[in-house]
Each structure stands twice: as structure tokens, then as C-alpha cells.
Amino acid sequence: MSTPPAPTRAPAVECAGLRYRFGDHVAVDGVEPTGAPAVECAGLRYRFGDHVAIDGVDLDVRTGEMFGLLGPNGAGKTTTIRILTTLLPVVEGEARVFGLDVSASPMQARRLVGYVPQQLSADGQLTGRENVSMFARLFDVPRRERADRVAEVLDAMNLQEAADRVAATYSGGMVRRLELAQALVNRPRVLILDEPTIGLDPVGRDTVWDRLRSLQAEGITVLLTTHYMEEAEELCNRVALMHRGRIRAVGTPAELEARLGPEATLEDVFRFYAGDSLEEGGELRDVRSTRRVARRLG
């Protein structure tokens, strides 16, 4: 098993508001304005009617790391992510992306984030290229750069050959890579993925893992949710265990395992913090929403 690089709290290199122009072309536009963590949640709470979906979430994702949010069905992972991506409002608590309050500056925050949702976000009736172009327009990628940027991310996701076929003909792994391309077209600094490999076969899964590792190596921070302990162990520098709307434990997989004993696995850690709800089996709607994602595009 390969060991992921372990970023420390101290930045290796710090830039504050760097700007550089070649003529009219802005090459570096405000890199790392604050040195703040990539993602911060403090005391986040959210209710659906009477139901408390998240109940005081505190979370820090450091710049440059790959961070895994783990937890059983219904734990509150997607709700947390939807607040961070401005799809749900901040009702109580704070959510920041690179120091920007997502509630006060939703548009600026959105520009820093690439999001691959748990539900399918690609349209089966459009080609791969058309799907990515639509995201480029949504994110205001300048018109004259659009075609190049779309080609660049399709290339990076190894979809150049399939780019002009409708997405309904793609395999599950290709759809996931297409969704990654969509999320990357606005050149985000943090990529947030909700169960990126659900329903994929081992080959599709490995390809997505490779792409995520390359993106991390290019300096993109990654926050992902997963139910696969192997995935968390293989990819993530640190993980958080979420249960019933709260973060129960945070650390490197090795640290969390060591807390339980010399032989403990990440699955033991998961069961230790979330075991009671596993017996209940989660709510039907939680399981159903997970399944829907596992299906291919129709």
C-alpha cells in the first residue's frame, strides 16, 4: 500500500496575494490570500424540519491535504458538504473556504470550489464535451478560453477520445471522470467529492484514485466522503468520523487505529464510533439515495 504524502501544519512555501502580469495576461491572480485552512467549519448546525441533520460540526481541512469524511448513511456528510458548496444556507455556525465566509461571499467561495455531488451531475443526452462546456459557462470561464479549458480537463481525465459521444454511452468510471472534469473546469483550489467511487468496478475506482492523487500533487486540496475504508486508508492524509450529525474523531488513519489497539483497522474505528447506527441500517431514504448514484446514466 502506498503511503500518501503527509502535509504538516507549516506551509512549505507561502505566498500572500501574489500577482504577476505578462502584458494584459494575469498569470498568477491572488494565490493563497490568507494562508487559512482550505476548509473550516465551526459549530455548523442544520435542520430539515424537526430533524437535526448536523449538530455542531467543527472541521478543518488543511491546504494541500486529501481529507476523508467517513460515517454511516444519514450521518450528515452530504449536508455538511452542501453547506460548504453554498447549496444549503449557513443557518447556525460558520463555514469558510480559504478564509472566505461562504455565507457572506457565496459567489467568491463557489469559484474556489470544485464539486462532484453524490447524485449524478452529468446529462446522459449531452456529449462529454457539451457537459463540461455547460459547467464552463455556469462558472463564467471567459468565452475565448472555454474551448481550450474544456479540452484540457477532458484530456486530464483521459476522456479525449470519448469526448464527442453522448454520456449515456459511458461506463460508470467514465461518468465519474466526466464529473471530475466538470468540477475542474473553473480551476478550483479545493475539490469536494461526495462518494467519488461508489458503484465503480476496481479498474474504474483505481483510475479515479490515480486522478485524485495527481490533482493533489498539483496542489489541489481534496475533501471526499466515502464508505470504503480501503479508499480512506489508501488516499487520505487525515479522516474524520461523523455520526449522528457530529464529528466524533479526527486524525490520520494510523492515529485513529492506534487509539483502539495495535491490531485495529479503520473498519474497527468506523464500527467503534458508528456501530449502533449500523445495526439500525440507516434510514430508507439514505440507502435509496446512495443506490441511485450507483446506477449508470440512462
Ligand X SMILES: Nc1ncnc2c1ncn2[C@@H]1O[C@H](COP(=O)(O)OP(=O)(O)OP(=O)(O)O)[C@@H](O)[C@H]1O
> Binder to Mg ion among 78, 131, 133, 186 (CB under 5 A)?
78
Nearer to ligand X (CB atom), residue 64 or residue 76: 76
Instruction: Report in angstroms how near the CB of residue 27 gets to ligand X at its nearest.
Output: 39
Q: Interface with ligand X includes 292 (CB under 6 A)?
A: no
**Under DSSP, is residue 96 helix (H, G, I), strand (E, B) or coil?**
strand
Instruction: Report in angstroms how near the CB of residue 158 gets to Mg ion at its nearest.
Output: 27
Nearer to Mg ion (CB atom), residue 136 or residue 223: 223
Q: Interface with ligand X includes 48 (CB under 6 A)?
A: yes
Which letter does DSSP use for residue 99 in this model? T
Q: Interface with ligand X includes 205 (CB under 6 A)?
A: no
Instruction: Report in angstroms how near the CB of residue 286 gets to Mg ion at its nearest.
Output: 7
Best CA proximity match to 157, nearest among 137, 136, 132, 120:
132
Which of ligand X, Mg ion, none does residue 223 bind to, with CB < 5 to 8 Å depending on kind? none
Contact 54, 77 (CB under 8 A): no
> Binder to ligand X among 37, 71, 172, 196 (CB under 6 A)?
71
Q: Vertex 258, ends 190 and 275: CA angle to 5°?
A: 80
**Under DSSP, is residue 137 helix (H, G, I), strand (E, B) or coil?**
helix
Q: Interface with Mg ion includes 85 (CB under 5 A)?
A: no
Q: Interface with ligand X includes 221 (CB under 6 A)?
A: no
Number of residues that bind ligand X (CB under 6 A): 17
**Under DSSP, is residue 224 helix (H, G, I), strand (E, B) or coil?**
strand
How far apart, in whole angstroms, are the C-alpha atoms of residue 185 and residue 194?
18
Nearer to ligand X (CB atom), residue 80 or residue 133: 80
Helices (H), the chain: 77-84, 106-112, 128-138, 143-156, 172-184, 202-217, 229-235, 253-260, 266-280, 284-294
* Segment interacting with ligand X, rule: CB under 6 A, options 95-103, 141-149, 163-171, 278-286: 278-286
